[in-house]
Structure 1
């Protein structure tokens, strides 16, 4: 029965942790239960809060921010409101996943270690205040994989705050994230712009990076997991069967759930099936205490293209953060 037709979602789940990339509670009810749930400034904080059907969440966030602002006087009211709104959305989605909830730290702090640490600690405190029953060990904060961001992850580890290194495109970032103690990394298989602009053609998909990073973490006996994201099409997803985790948008989950293919065809696609290659020893330098060495190595990665990808992704996230904060301003004016 080697060529028997198998369900693609069942096949993937047997080899990889499947996570959900949405805080849309209506969608979470439609897909089979996933492990972790994640969000960021563009998929949720703005896209969800701007919906008319989410006006109650936005208004509640505005009200809570007004009442709590005196506890965070240095944080702009709009920024605090967006953070609270994200937590309220996470609280709604939580019953539909079994694992961790992921929230992204304000990307405007991507190049400021101190502000990143402060914002991460604030999100932890806010989540506890808004939902005291929530187990803080299930909260993971997504932080941009800049030098400053990853040093913030290193600092947050000592406060027992879990972090995920996002906007990751190179092994240099992966190595530093592992050394910093991130619980996971999210390699972007495609540039973020390519996901939202079909006419834009980026560089080749970074599927091999996912394999290489996972091999490195295993070789070093580090607990950091590879949580790949930003895939395009079913073939790329099936090629990543065997990665520690995959973050998938609802449309891809539904397509996997409704698709069947011959078992041998599907199994031959995985990049993680070559046992001999996985045994090869990798050699990389340490970066955790070598800022100059890291910055030079990252600047040279992909002949400089990695820096452009990182900057592009952070800019896109910052744009949506700005839109979300403007949404709050507009809503407050309407209520005056």
Structure 2
């Protein structure tokens, strides 16, 4: 093969940590080993609803019945989704060297206390279901609302790792870093691009947010990792080469694995270094200033960031409902 051409997946892995965005166990190892594995309510619903995962669903019902008395604060179906997530995670973990990510109930996105309790419950469930599991490899995904990130602040003090998700602007990124999140997931596009019918076009993507956040953290000595997500197509992934990590769906990973391009062409596509070279931008501390944060967040990206965040949370809530319905029907 022409030495000037590179395999796209190998190139991307040389620049960026590659993570898998699914709880579909059949994808593990299909394109080589990824570092982390991430999930959300969409994954819990689709996996628990699959006929091929009937064994997981039956085990979920069995374990939820056994453990429900320990968690009377939540209904059976809600606990069942969390138990199912833990069982699904257990099937994924052997294929990864890094962390497994589980998302709190998005309906709690605007309650600090409920997000905190949900994160602690996930850790408790892991201990009860699989005592041998290394809980230092658990990262809890939390919507990047004021309340959610304040819960992350408390969880950080408890040694619980968190990731700020549904993140669309620098104001959220700054607060997440101050709250002690081990990572954030800036969305390049609205979440709708992953769940709407093919052909949906996001009119206002935020291509440079990941690079700006990464630059901010490095300038201020903040150890939060930037894990970009919600991309569309492999060109956007290549444009983000050099970011800390990319969360990639299986189809895009397979396309990257099959693809070859001119090395110089691919290297010229990355926008991360260009963003990193921009003039230093200052942001205030938000961690103890709710009023300032809310005012700035409301204006971010001409008001689109707060709207996109709310929309993404609503979409995840819809899949939470669908996942609970799978538990409810299976229980009858």
- TM-score range (shorter-chain normalised) is over 0.9
Runs of 4+ in 1 over 4 A off after TM superposition: none
**2:48 is the counterpart of 1:22:** no
Instruction: Report the secondary structure of 1:190's partner residue.
Output: coil
Q: Is the 8 A contact 1:112 1:149 kept in 2?
A: yes
**2:117 is the counterpart of 1:107:** no
- Taking the TM superposition and a 5 Å limit, the aligned residue runs for 1:84-99 are 84-99=83-98
Counterpart position of 1:127: 126
Gaps of 5+ in 2: none
**2:311 is the counterpart of 1:304:** no
Q: Kindly state the Cα deviation for residue 200 of structure 1 after the two structures are TM-superposed.
A: 3.4
Q: Is the 8 A contact 2:188 2:231 kept in 1?
A: yes
User: What is the CA–CA distance in structure 1 between the aligned matches of 2:79 and 2:264, rounded to whole Å?
Assistant: 51
User: What is the CA–CA distance in structure 2 between the aligned matches of 1:153 and 1:131, rounded to whole Å?
Assistant: 24
User: What is the CA–CA distance in structure 1 between the aligned matches of 2:295 and 2:204, rounded to whole Å?
Assistant: 23
User: What is the CA–CA distance in structure 2 between the aligned matches of 1:57 and 1:175, rounded to whole Å?
Assistant: 39
Counterpart position of 1:220: 220
User: What is the CA–CA distance in structure 2 between the aligned matches of 1:128 and 1:32, rounded to whole Å?
Assistant: 29
- Taking the TM superposition and a 5 Å limit, the aligned residue runs for 1:79-228 are 79-197=78-196, 198-228=198-228
Counterpart position of 1:46: 45
User: What is the CA–CA distance in structure 2 between the aligned matches of 1:106 and 1:244, rounded to whole Å?
Assistant: 26
Q: Kindly state the Cα deviation for residue 203 of structure 1 after the two structures are TM-superposed.
A: 3.0
User: What is the CA–CA distance in structure 1 between the aligned matches of 2:203 and 2:172, rounded to whole Å?
Assistant: 18
User: What is the CA–CA distance in structure 2 between the aligned matches of 1:24 and 1:99, rounded to whole Å?
Assistant: 17
Q: Kindly state the Cα deviation for residue 330 of structure 1 after the two structures are TM-superposed.
A: 0.6
Instruction: Report the secondary structure of 2:226's partner residue.
Output: strand
Counterpart position of 1:36: 36
* 1:15-38, Cα deviation, whole Å (9 max, x unpaired): 100000111111114221100000
- Taking the TM superposition and a 5 Å limit, the aligned residue runs for 1:63-82 are 63-82=62-81
* 1:228-284, Cα deviation, whole Å (9 max, x unpaired): 001001110001000000000000111111101000000001112349x53732211
- TM (norm. structure 1) is 0.96
CA RMSD of aligned residues (A): 1.5
**2:251 is the counterpart of 1:263:** no
Q: Is the 8 A contact 2:193 2:232 kept in 1?
A: no
* 1:144-182, Cα deviation, whole Å (9 max, x unpaired): 000000000000011100000000000000000000000
Instruction: Report the secondary structure of 2:48's partner residue.
Output: coil
User: What is the CA–CA distance in structure 2 between the aligned matches of 1:101 and 1:50, rounded to whole Å?
Assistant: 21
* 1:196-248, Cα deviation, whole Å (9 max, x unpaired): 22343323321100110000000000000100001001110001000000000
Q: Is the 8 A contact 1:191 1:309 kept in 2?
A: yes
* 1:88-134, Cα deviation, whole Å (9 max, x unpaired): 01100111111000000010000000000000000011012211111
